[in-house]
Amino acid sequence: MTLNLKHHGAITGVTGSCHELTIGNQGILVDCGLFQGSDSQGRASASELAIEFPIDHIQALVVTHVHIDHVGRIPYLLAAGFEGPILCSEPSARLLPAMLEDALKIGFTRDHELIERVLGLISERTRAIPYNQWQPVFEDGDTALSIRLQRAGHILGSAYVECDARSGNARERIVFSGDLGAPGTPLIPSPEPPQACDRLILESTYGDRDHEHRDDRRHQLRTVIEQALDDGGTVLIPAFSLGRTQELLYELETLFHDNHGEPWRDLEIVVDSPLAANFTDLYRQLKPFWDEEALERVHAGRHPLSFEQLTVIDTHEDHVRAVDYLNDTGRPCVVLAGSGMCDGGRIVNYLKAMLGQPRNDVVFVGYQAEGTPGRDILRYGPRGGWVELDDERYTINAGIHQLSGFSAHAGRSDLLRFVNGIHPAPKEIRLVHGDPPAKEALASQLRDQTSARVTIPSR
């Protein structure tokens, strides 16, 4: 079978996911995401984000989940003339417009009419497909491709993609992992490995390490907040507006439910992001896709994503006021704001105002890509170094913490369990979506544990 795999992104790092599967003369793309941090190599303007590879033969775009590094280039794909459907899970179809509207406003254009047109086009093209059901994508003579989405446990709506390729009598099963979640991610059922697969395209973000257990991480979050608030001040948590914010709210609701002393009695949680608030609303509407534990809480009368200590800040004026107020008063407060890697968004204003004072703390809960301010704060902050934000240096006297157990990504053991659960074992595993050391470490483990040919594609 003339089957071809190409990787247009997430090769040198973890962003810009875009993979192509071609059988004969037709193909699909899996994800079409933005590059961030040093992956972007200065690619920021519209012309530099334009799709630079041929797409005439692409019949469909399959979206694994709606994080911006997996969907952010969809407007550019449409601009390049892509006319096929956008296939994704039902929750992803609900979440996609909100994510792209935000991305369009920031990076694409300020022209509201154009934004509306692009969003209209994306809605028209989006086809929600149920989990665990085969869907034909194309058939051309004796060549055909069907796909099936399975839960990936990463964020609500996330999926890995099973592809059934047929050419004459030859058949091949290809699986794209997308981003795999860690077991025990709040609100979301854990991923199960695929039944069978000939080739696996596997993410490797944490291919070289494991996360702490989920109970530990809740305990860690509690400890870090209690310590941080001992001297007053603000705890800043840079968080992706989609996924991580809702997970954190879920864990914070648990902590409020279980703890009634200081600082919990008077503590306020602020979500300073209209986008995160919007996604939190959508998460609430998508309850049928929550896991059992979350639904049990709902039945018990609890509100995992909308508790009384939670305040949402919407307008820019209120945001500016909140930064000033918290900075002036030192009132204990936990602020969740994006972006998760501190390379933009409202978190930057908090950091500028608060990094200089030891009573404040920054708690990282997610991966910080090379070249982002988040990575620099994490690296240089604990030694009293500085970080550059909007071309200015800010000295870091605030406490800096990292909670690895909050990753929305599978750790090394989870990835190995996923692969070892596939029978018969894949013949080839391609590692993508990871920094080089993570990929190398995972490759060597996989070579030890499986019979698969493990490769690290460079294009």
Between the CA atoms of 213, 215, 221 and 226, what dihedral angle is there, to the nearest 10 degrees? -140
203 binds Zn ion per the rule CB under 5 A: no
Residue 103 CB, shortest distance to Zn ion, in Å, is 14
Q: Which CB, 39 or 179, lies closer to Zn ion? A: 179
Q: Which CB, 179 or 414, lies closer to Zn ion? A: 179
Choose the binding region for Zn ion from 44-52, 173-181, 198-206, 341-349 (rule: CB under 5 A): 173-181
Choose the binding region for Zn ion from 171-179, 228-236, 334-342, 434-442 (rule: CB under 5 A): 171-179
Residue nearest to Zn ion (CB): 67
CA Rg value for the chain: 22
Residue 34 CB, shortest distance to Zn ion, in Å, is 12
71 to 90, contacts with Zn ion by CB under 5 A?
Answer: none
67 binds Zn ion per the rule CB under 5 A: yes
Q: Which CB, 67 or 94, lies closer to Zn ion? A: 67
Choose the binding region for Zn ion from 145-153, 172-180, 256-264, 332-340 (rule: CB under 5 A): 172-180
Q: Per-residue contact track with Zn ion, 18 to 37, x per CB under 5 A?
A: --------------------
Q: Which CB, 179 or 435, lies closer to Zn ion? A: 179
Residue 261 CB, shortest distance to Zn ion, in Å, is 36
Residue 330 CB, shortest distance to Zn ion, in Å, is 35
Residue 333 CB, shortest distance to Zn ion, in Å, is 28
Token pair in block for residue 389: 């934000």
**399 phi and psi, to 5 degrees?**
-70, 140
Closest to 424 (Cα-Cα) out of 456, 452, 453, 454:
452
Number of residues that bind Zn ion (CB under 5 A): 2
Residue 27 CB, shortest distance to Zn ion, in Å, is 23
179 binds Zn ion per the rule CB under 5 A: yes
Q: Which CB, 7 or 67, lies closer to Zn ion? A: 67
Sites of contact with Zn ion (CB under 5 A): 67, 179
